[in-house]
Chains A and B, each alone.
Chain A
Amino acid sequence: MKNLIITLSLLLFSYTTIAQNKNAKTIIEVDGVCGMCKARIEKAAFSVKGVKSAVWSEETKHLSLIFDERKTNIKSICQTIADAGHDTKMVEATEEAYQSIHECCKYREEEVVKEHKKKS
């Protein structure tokens, strides 16, 4: 009986670690310009079930993620962020979603980007 439990748990363990990581960790690039963008991006990420940690850096545009691969995947997260109006490498925001974000966050506009660079 003991042996069985050991083999079973071993098998299950190796199975889950290879296939689907409970704490998958990655970094993706998300376009944005300011603190308001940061809140919007992180909020969007957290709205996806299974996302445990999301930290976006205004400086590097990197969004560091930790999420449960059994519940979600990177593409769904990117899609949700794009739906909130922010471009990722995998999914671009639709014009409609992009227009919904605040004027000062319009990261595709060169003027806006310049303005934020000046401030910082």
Chain B
Amino acid sequence: MKFKHILNLIFLLGFTLHTQGQNTLKGIVLEKIDGKDEPLYGANVFWLNQNIGRVTNENGEFSIPYQSNYKKLVITYVGYQTDTLVISNTNKIKHYLRPEAELDEVTITTRRQSLSRSFLSSENKINVSSDELLKAACCNLSESFETNPSIDVNFADAISGTRQIKMLGLSSPYIMITTENIPTIRGANQTNGMSFIPGTWVESIQITKGAGSVVNGYESITGQINAELQKPSMDHPLFVNAYAGINGRLELNTHVNQKLSEKWHTGLYLHGNQRTEKFDRNDDGFLDIPLKQQINILNRWQYSNSEKGIISFINFNYVNDNTQSGQVDFNPNRDKLTTNAWGSESDTERFETSLKIGYVNPDIPYQSLGFQTDFSYHDQSSYFGLRRYDIRQTSFYSNLIYNTIISDSRHKVKTGLTFMYDDYDELVDETNFARIDNSIGGFFEYAFDNLTNLSLTAGIRADQHNRLGFFVTPRFHLRYTPWSKSALRFSFGRGKRASNIFSENHNLFASNRQINILNSNDDIYGLAPEIAWNYGISYLQGFNLFGQKGDFTLDFYRTDFENQVIVDWETPSEINFFNLNGSSFSNVFQLEMNYELLERLDLRSAYKYFDVQSDYLNGRLQKPLIPRHRLFLNMGYSTASKDNASQWKFDLTYNWLSEQRYPDTSLNPIQFQLPQETPTVGTLNAQVTRVFSDKFEIYIGGENITNVRQDNPILGAENPFGSNFDSNFVYGPIFGYMYYAGLRFKLTKIKNK
């Protein structure tokens, strides 16, 4: 046996020696840097006038077939002078390339739009840059969409004081909201989660309309919003933002970022806000805006090793938020849960930690592996008048993603596994609801790009969920470019989710409606999972008019529910939750036009049409408090930036909503009856920013400067413990005009070397 091995070995050795020895020329290509030899990776080595060429490996080595009639060897590489060597034997070559003279630097002068739609991606994606986020200077993620017509922002009600967002006519639970692609604003965090992400922490936002990707989960129905946070390695070493509004709101944001070593960066982000002043401009005895206090701390650690292709983030976040609202005279210490005065408090404590690791093969950039995991603990205890609501949620999420290509990089593939675990413990008045949800699933997404006029993304995932069962989620996006500067998009997809009826309809507690759940056979509060299909078509066309750039978009999206938990407000003394029996859909049409009127003067305009209907107990109705029409206008102007970066920026936003349907109040006593529809509402916001240098800027602005107000936002305010008390009829601003001012100070980076 042994003998045979040796024979084989000799044979093999001989063979390799033979092929390499006689017919190949070996060598190494180097460069001299500071007198040291550095290998050149990727240099081209080929025989002149022969169709034989090789590329040097990471050690600068090459080996190329040789024949005695091959005489001239060319060694060339981008950025280096090409050399031709005369070869007469197969002695090993060691060759140094010399850099070419410095190339002219190319500068691109096009101004980047702060809100941009992609012409190329297969998804209908809008990128919101940090410049855009500065246009509405306040203050957290839920308030970041004021200048973006694709997202509809509700007026804050007097009890929670938070602004809920909508996409395609449906509220935020139907949107998958992620921070750095980890789903975080869900479950118990749905209520206030968006106000737990301070605006200055956000580096950029990506909005995808329609089905979205399968990579992050199955829950999204109308779209996805992803917020990228500031990265310790990119953010300023020191950043301070202070803000004060005449509604008594004070905010302070401080970022401190430090480089610890070549590979490690860390950042500490502190946010505090408070509102202690009491306002009752409409004299209804209730605070117009709640009193608030929040402390929010984020600590990020970033590891980046570009040689090994590893990047990692570790985050720790702690939030403590207290809100008090209700009657002006309400004193929590004295009046809590009594009928002395109507008041509400909500205390939330939240801890979250997450880890992300990404590995990109440095030699093969299209191969990468990503792992993200997140743990959160959320504890909210609250009361509204005599009603109590507590929710505690412990969640664990983990996602593994592998990226690669099939044959070449026009065909990309993503595949991976997702694990989710949610432990809910809820107390609603005297009733306890507790449940544990867990799911495990796998996904596969294929993306194709023909490099010119067609790209598509087709994804599918399969999940096993203890309450939703086993189910498959397909999603598809396609982009076709029929002619230049255009994009025609189609999409469809399915979403499925468990509705957390109390945290998603949190404001119902600020009424004396009786809560009824009309089904009892299914697994989630007796209700069945929500299932919907979303279909979209969109057309984007860019144009040049009078030498200036512009584009317009036509969007139509339909969401069709197979099952939905219907929230029925149509019986005045009740709120009814039940499984959809019949149909529920949303059709939303959007026309958007963006045009650069003059240099640095941008106009953004949009018209939206909503048709959102469901089958309620008394028949098919338009969803309450959604306008049929919305108009949006935004104008931004900035003066040319001087050498020291100083400039002025002006921004004006106008929003108009048509009549909205009130929930039915016809069974109420006559003094508590509302008309069928609300009046129309138009609001105007303006902001001026003065940038003094790249270190310092101040801004002042006004929200709702024409002082439009809804006079009686609370029904039955005189008797808050009576059966007609309800604070859920908010269609417009309660507070009226609001002015604010703020400053931003940043230490700019000291450039290395």
Contacts and interface: CB of A to CB of B under 8 A. Distances in A.
Contacts of B24: 19
A19 B57 contact: no
A74 interface: yes
Contacts of A4: 5, 8-9
Nearest to B365: A53
Contacts of A29: 78
A7 B46 CA distance: 32
Contacts of B156: none
Contact of B55 (A59, A62, A69, A120): A69
A15 B16 contact: yes
B178 interface: no
Interface in B1-45: 1, 5, 8-9, 12-13, 16, 19-20, 24, 26, 41-44
A66 interface: yes
B68 interface: no
Contacts of B366: 52-53, 66
A27 B408 contact: no
A64 to B, nearest CB: 9
Interface residues of A, number: 42
A120 B452 CA distance: 20
Given A11-B13, A18-B20, A52-B366, A24 B55 contact: yes
B376 interface: no
Interface residues of B, number: 46
A28 B53 CA distance: 13
Given A23-B363, A46-B410, A53 B405 contact: yes
B408 A46 contact: yes
Nearest to A47: B408
Interface stretch (B102-110, B229-237, B254-262, B738-746): B102-110
A3 B5 contact: yes
A113 to B, nearest CB: 13
A23 B41 CA distance: 12
Contact of A73 (B13, B46, B76, B108): B46
A117 B450 CA distance: 26
Contact of A89 (B8, B19, B51, B76): B76
A90 B364 contact: no
A27 B77 contact: yes
A92 interface: no
Contacts of A90: 44, 46, 53, 74, 76
B116 interface: no
A74 B13 contact: no
Contact of B108 (A52, A53, A59): A59
Interface in B434-461: 450-452
A75 B53 contact: yes
Contact of B451 (A21, A26, A27, A39): A39
B82 A89 contact: yes
Contact of A17 (B12, B50, B57, B74): B57
Among B8, B19, B76, find the residue whose CB has the most chain A CB atoms closer than 10 A: B76
B249 interface: no
A25 B41 contact: yes
A62 B78 contact: yes
Interface string A1-39: 101100110010001011111011111110000000011
B63 interface: yes
A54 B53 contact: no
B78 A18 contact: no
A99 interface: no
B451 A75 contact: no
Contacts of A75: 46, 50-53
A27 B43 CA distance: 8
B446 to A, nearest CB: 16
B407 interface: yes
A25 B451 contact: no
Contact of A27 (B8, B19, B78): B78
7 contacts: A8-B12, A11-B16, A19-B24, A27-B78, A39-B451, A74-B53, A75-B50
Interface of B: 1, 5, 8-9, 12-13, 16, 19-20, 24, 26, 41-44, 46, 50-55, 57, 61, 63, 74, 76-78, 82, 106, 108-110, 363-366, 405, 407-410, 450-452
